[in-house]
Amino acid sequence: MNTALLMIRYHEIALKGGKRPVFEKQLARNIDKMLKRTFGSDAPIKVLRQTGRILVEAPWDDENQAKAQQTLEKVFGISSFSPMRKVDTHIETIKTAALEEFQKAIAAHGMPKTFRVQTRRSDKVFPESSTDLDRIFGSHLHAAFPDLQVELKKPELRLGIEIRRNQSYIWSQKFPGPGGLPVGSNGKLLALMSGGIDSPIAVLQILKRGSPVRFIHFDGAPFVGPESREKAEDLVRLVNQYQPAPERMHTIAFGKIQEKIALVTDAKMRTVLYRRMMMRISCRIARRIKALALVTGEALGQVASQTLENLVTIDRVSDLPILRPLIAYDKSEIIALAHHFKTFDTSVREAADCCTLFGDRHPTIYSTPAEAEEQEKNFDVEALVNEACEKIESWTFQDSRHNS
Ligand code: ATP
Ligand code: MG
């Protein structure tokens, strides 16, 4: 089996000035962990940091290369990556290897009309500038394929050459990464995870900004079936593939609590009241697990509970910031992302959510905190929060290889 090599590029991290080494280390660590989750913890995978790049060395074949690519597409912080060939740093050796790689690329993808060579020197081993080297290698290729046009801006085939002191690297394919920042480079969050379309996408958007995410799910059992909780678990499995370590889901037995609230409150107010309870309980759990803020999949005006008035009423009981990455998204934009991240099919599986239990068909659109507080005089808020936090169940998702 050959040693396969991948070159990994990142751009946003490069902007982070003094923090750059921290972000680079985090990204390299995440690549290592996530590849080992795919290939096994004892797989001989080496992740090396070089100036402005990360190199991955692993003894794998074509099939494993495809699996590695699928994994790297989920590592936030990567802007793009390329399979590479390593050669000694001698002009003639590079020329010969460049031509071979060029021929291979043409055999695999067909004859292009235009091409360019793109050379990058991180070590000034050769006296020539990168542009001079582009010309030297480019004319070598041109001599073999005289009909091809050189096109600098949008070539159909681009051959990359990275010159380093002893070894140089040649690539012809570039795959996009997911962008963003490496997970673990920002503080921890607790996400309210329903079984819907929005919450997994909210989590993925915030994971992209580098925050690891734990999950909390409110289970309406015995008034909703197990399929609702199972759906939330399956969604957690899917989004956990984007974190270097799979995070837990805490499940709150919420159905009986909702029943108690429903017995003594106005039907029109119940959705807002349940959501205030969810926030109180989530704040309590967030402090327990040292999460700095909450995340929800709410979007302004999407449903009755998400008018600005109701969001204000809900926010009032949270003593932690509530991050709502989808606040300005249309449903169609969220659905497009759900297709992109492949969460859609799971999200649309039939299952009831607890939010509408014992509710009115036309819940209030314009609540005020005072109205909610008035209703909450009818039950013991603190006792119900305590009850919920005592009965918490926690699920770990250790090995996502068996779950995906
Ligand atoms: P989704 O598609 O994510 O379910 P939605 O548009 O159906 O969202 P709601 O049901 O009002 O909207 O929920 C808004 C947000 O509240 C969800 O995105 C999620 O963050 C949280 N949420 C709702 N129900 C639950 C639940 N049972 N457990 C945990 N969080 C929930
Ligand atoms: Mg929902």
Over residues 57-82, the pLDDT tens digits come to 987 777 788 889 999 999 999 999 99
Yes or no: say if 280 and 385 are a contact pair by the CB < 8 Å rule.
Answer: yes
The answer on pLDDT for 397 being more than 80 is no
Contacts of 203 (CB under 8 A, 6+ apart): 191, 193, 213, 215, 239, 295, 297
Work out the average pLDDT over 176-194.
96
Task: Pull the structure tokens for residue 98.
Answer: 């460049």
* Burial status of residue 124 (CB atoms within 10 A of its CB: 0-12, 13-18, 19 or more): exposed
Q: With respect to CATH, is domain 189-403 assigned 3.40.50.620?
A: yes
Of 69, 59, 53, 60, the closest CA to residue 167 belongs to: 53
Given this model, what pLDDT does residue 2 score?
Answer: 63
For the chain, the structural domain boundaries read 4-176, 189-403
Given this model, what pLDDT does residue 399 score?
Answer: 44
| Dist CA 60 CA 45 (whole Å) | 9
Given this model, what pLDDT does residue 63 score?
Answer: 79
Given this model, what pLDDT does residue 199 score?
Answer: 97
Yes or no: say if 217 and 61 are a contact pair by the CB < 8 Å rule.
Answer: no
Given this model, what pLDDT does residue 372 score?
Answer: 97
CA dihedral (297, 300, 305, 309) positive or negative: positive
Given this model, what pLDDT does residue 402 score?
Answer: 34
Yes or no: say if 302 and 178 are a contact pair by the CB < 8 Å rule.
Answer: no
Beta-strand ranges (E) seen in 221-260 are 249-253
**pLDDT, averaged across the chain:** 91
Check pocket membership of 105 for ligand 1, CB cut-off 6 A. no
Check pocket membership of 305 for ligand 1, CB cut-off 6 A. yes
Which ligand neighbours the alpha carbon of 228 most closely?
1
Q: Whose C-alpha lies nearest to ligand 1, atom 6? A: 198
Check pocket membership of 296 for ligand 1, CB cut-off 6 A. yes
Question: How many residues belong to the chain?
Answer: 404
With vertex at residue 180, the alpha carbon angle to CA 175 and CA 184, rounded to the nearest 5 degrees, is 120
Yes or no: say if 137 and 94 are a contact pair by the CB < 8 Å rule.
Answer: yes
Check pocket membership of 233 for ligand 1, CB cut-off 6 A. no
HSE-CB of 198 using CA atoms within 13 angstroms: 20
Q: pLDDT for 93-133, tens place per residue?
A: 999 999 999 999 999 999 999 999 999 987 778 888 899 99
With vertex at residue 325, the alpha carbon angle to CA 257 and CA 335, rounded to the nearest 5 degrees, is 90
The answer on pLDDT for 403 being more than 60 is no
Residue among 189, 192, 250 whose CB has most ligand 1 atoms within 8 A, to mutate: 192
Given this model, what pLDDT does residue 123 score?
Answer: 74
In the chain, pLDDT over 70 holds for what percent of residues?
96
Task: Pull the structure tokens for residue 18.
Answer: 């003094």
Q: Give residue 172's pLDDT band: very low, low, confident or very high (50, 70, 90).
A: very high
| Dist CA 333 CA 168 (whole Å) | 42
Contacts of 383 (CB under 8 A, 6+ apart): none
Task: Pull the structure tokens for residue 316.
Answer: 């009032």
Q: pLDDT for 283-334, tens place per residue?
A: 999 999 999 999 999 999 888 789 999 999 999 999 999 999 999 999 999 9
Given this model, what pLDDT does residue 398 score?
Answer: 65
Check pocket membership of 299 for ligand 1, CB cut-off 6 A. no
Given this model, what pLDDT does residue 404 score?
Answer: 30
The answer on pLDDT for 225 being more than 80 is yes
Task: Pull the structure tokens for residue 325.
Answer: 């990455």
Name the range with the highest mean pLDDT among 113-127, 172-186, 341-355, 356-370: 172-186
Check pocket membership of 193 for ligand 1, CB cut-off 6 A. yes
Yes or no: say if 7 and 171 are a contact pair by the CB < 8 Å rule.
Answer: yes
pTM of the full predicted structure?
Answer: 0.91
Q: Give residue 21's pLDDT band: very low, low, confident or very high (50, 70, 90).
A: confident
Q: Whose C-alpha lies nearest to ligand 1, atom 17? A: 297
Integer CA distances (angstroms), 196 to 203, 254, 344, 347, 350, in order:
12, 17, 9, 5, 10
CATH T-level fold of 4-176: VC0802-like (3.30.2130)
Work out the average pLDDT over 8-17.
72
Of 6, 365, 367, 352, the closest CA to residue 177 belongs to: 6
Check pocket membership of 218 for ligand 1, CB cut-off 6 A. yes
Given this model, what pLDDT does residue 1 score?
Answer: 53
Which is the closest atom of ligand 1 to the Cα of 299? 6
